[in-house]
Amino acid sequence: MGSDNATGVFAFLLLVLSILYSAIITMRVRFYQWGFFRTHRLPCKVISIGNITLGGAGKTPMTIYLAKTLYRLGFRVVILSRGYKGQLEQSCSIITDGKTVFMDPETAGDEPYLMAEKLTGIPIVVGKNRYECGQLAIKKFTPQVILLDDAFQHLSLYRDINIVLMDFTRPLGNRHVLPRGLLREPAPNLDRSDLVILTRADIDHSHSLTVPYVGNKPVFRCRHEPDQLMHTDDNGSIVLFSPDKLTNQKVYAFSGIANNYDFVQMLSGLQYQITGSSGFDDHHNYSDLDLETIAANAQNSSAKFIVTTEKDYVKIVKKINWPLPMFALGIKLNFGLDSQKFESIIQSKMVT
């Protein structure tokens, strides 16, 4: 993870490493552009959803949003995901055929599993080699469009649309490449994008947007909003509630995502009374001790409920006997005034 607070010799060493890393990444991109490295094509439309920085710009909610949109428009859609930290990352495996989920979160990876639980009629295939996974998807499901989750840097597979997400509050981090900053590659490489989406943005007012290095390509804004609360009842069934179910209730929050602070702020915005919170690294693999500590902290804080993210919930809800009722708060995207325009551009690119 990049460092904003480094000073002195340490900052200089990080900067030198960033320059070296930037040079390596730039040459890798050029080798693909010059044809020294092969880019494979699939016989259908391919849309990549990715970002240029580390951290949670909202790729998974965007993938879900776009998959639902394309499915509603009548397209056969398949999602390809790396399955980061899942047991199938080095293989190509079908997580769901759009009807049945075949894997648990530990096997599939937390994000593919969450997408499989939230999407109906949309198969999901996981594996590091997106081309091989794409071939499997073509053979099994004959999709009209494949969505690549977190694939802006995955240059070995051709895509028809390159969507890049950027956090509106800090689109380029501190503008340094790893390890001095948060950029996965130099910012000028944004010129590979076809469409940019600024997440966590103000969508209530229309104003012009300028993003460096993207020229006249479309730029949209969206924000993350609370969706439904999810809870597992005594019969093991998932029950959904409005987020206001816990308004003014004492809640202990925990999460293992890229921006844990934002999650707690969202709960506070719903008028939940936060009695305490715990934050972990993104994709954290919770041990029983972690979960027992969370449960004890929640009880000691006088909370009446525990709230986490959907991504964390699916991994841990059945691991221990929780002493307090646990809920997961879902996230949805709202494009506001840009909603119809975004859909029209995606639809137009699907027929060209």
DSSP H helical ranges for the chain = 8-34, 59-72, 105-108, 110-118, 130-141, 260-269, 288-300, 310-316, 339-350
User: Is residue 279 part of an annotated ligand binding site?
Assistant: no
User: Is residue 349 part of an annotated ligand binding site?
Assistant: no
Give CA–CA dist 104/200, Å, rounded.
30
- The DSSP string of 139-172 is HHH--SEEEEES-TT-TTB--SEEEEEEETTSTT
- The DSSP string of 262-298 is HHHHHHHHTT-EEEEEEE--TT----HHHHHHHHHHH
CA distance readout (Å), 56 to 48, 50, 53, 286: 16, 10, 9, 19
User: Is residue 54 part of an annotated ligand binding site?
Assistant: yes
Give CA–CA dist 315/110, Å, rounded.
7
Question: Would you give the DSSP letter of residue 248?
Answer: T
User: Is residue 55 part of an annotated ligand binding site?
Assistant: yes
User: Is residue 137 part of an annotated ligand binding site?
Assistant: no
User: Is residue 60 part of an annotated ligand binding site?
Assistant: yes
| Binding-site sequence positions for ATP | 53-60
| Binding-site sequence positions | 53-60
